[in-house]
Amino acid sequence: MSAVVSLTNVHKSFGAIEVLKGVSFEVMPGEVTAVIGASGSGKSTALRCINALEKINSGEIIVCGHKIHDEKLERRMLRQDVGIVFQSYNLFPHLTVAQNIMLAPTCVKGLRKAQARTLAEMVLAQVGLAEKADDYPEQLSGGQQQRVAIARSLAMQPKLMLFDEVTSALDPHLTGEVLRVMEDLARGGMSMILVTHEMAFARKVANKVVFMHHGKVWEVGPGAMLDDPQTPELKAFLSNGL
């Protein structure tokens, strides 16, 4: 079985600042990988490189068969296989919830509006918001808006979902709402990479935890490794209460 995501010796710099210093790890089909580490450790940059939102300086990244490091990469094809959800919801305020979700399937995949509406209702039900289809984003709580953002990505029926600190702007109650949706996706076998500060969630849901420190992969293991860190750096990170 080949990996859904494979990073090999990936380097990424912004000017003179080297952010990724030879990062390597794999994600297998159906696996949930949590990437943890202090701010500035390179975890969000790694996620953005996986989705070709940042161009790497050297190394190789292969995602769902797409060679991200290749100059001839078809980004449009990549976007159909990979969904990404950010900390900010990025919903269009002038469109209803359903219209926000229908946009990509109609524009990118050529679905008819009736088909796209059925798909929107299906993914909204999946995130527990079936009754909000005709509401506007401003009528929703932050947690509900984030769940709509997840539904919007699911509507493209991706092979891989990326989550970049999606709960960091939410209060604990709303965070719980979003994490439950992500847990359901994990149970359903969705391949996922999540950059997160939610250690309890990573311990419970992740098949693999990747601890990044100073732009490198410092420690890799199952969720249980958070109870038994092998390096002083991970021990210090966890003891900070993050």
Per-residue pLDDT of the chain (242 residues), as tens digits, is 799 999 999 999 999 999 999 999 999 999 999 999 999 999 999 999 999 999 999 999 999 999 999 989 998 889 889 999 988 888 999 999 999 999 999 988 889 999 999 999 999 999 999 999 999 999 999 999 999 999 999 999 999 999 999 888 788 888 888 899 999 999 899 999 999 988 989 998 999 999 999 999 999 999 989 999 999 999 999 987 54
The predicted model scores a pTM of 0.91
Q: Residue 7: what are its φ and ψ, rounded to 5°?
A: -110, 130
Q: Give the pLDDT confidence score for residue 240 in this predicted structure.
A: 78
pLDDT on residue 169: 79
Determine phi and psi for 197, rounding to 5 degrees.
-105, 5
Q: What is the pLDDT of residue 242?
A: 46
Class of domain 5-239 as given by CATH:
alpha beta
State phi, psi for 46 to the nearest 5 degrees.
-60, -45
What would the DSSP string read from start to end of the chain?
Answer: ---SEEEEEEEEEETTEEEEEEEEEEE-TT-EEEEE--TTSSHHHHHHHHTTSS--SEEEEEETTEETT-TT--HHHHHHHEEEE-SS----TTS-HHHHHHHHHHHTS---HHHHHHHHHHHHHHTT-GGGTTS-GGGS-HHHHHHHHHHHHHTT--SEEEEESTTTTS-HHHHHHHHHHHHHHHHTT-EEEEE-S-HHHHHHH-SEEEEEETTEEEEEE-GGGGGS--SHHHHHHHHTT-
The domain limits of the chain are 5-239
Structure tokens at 145: 């808006």
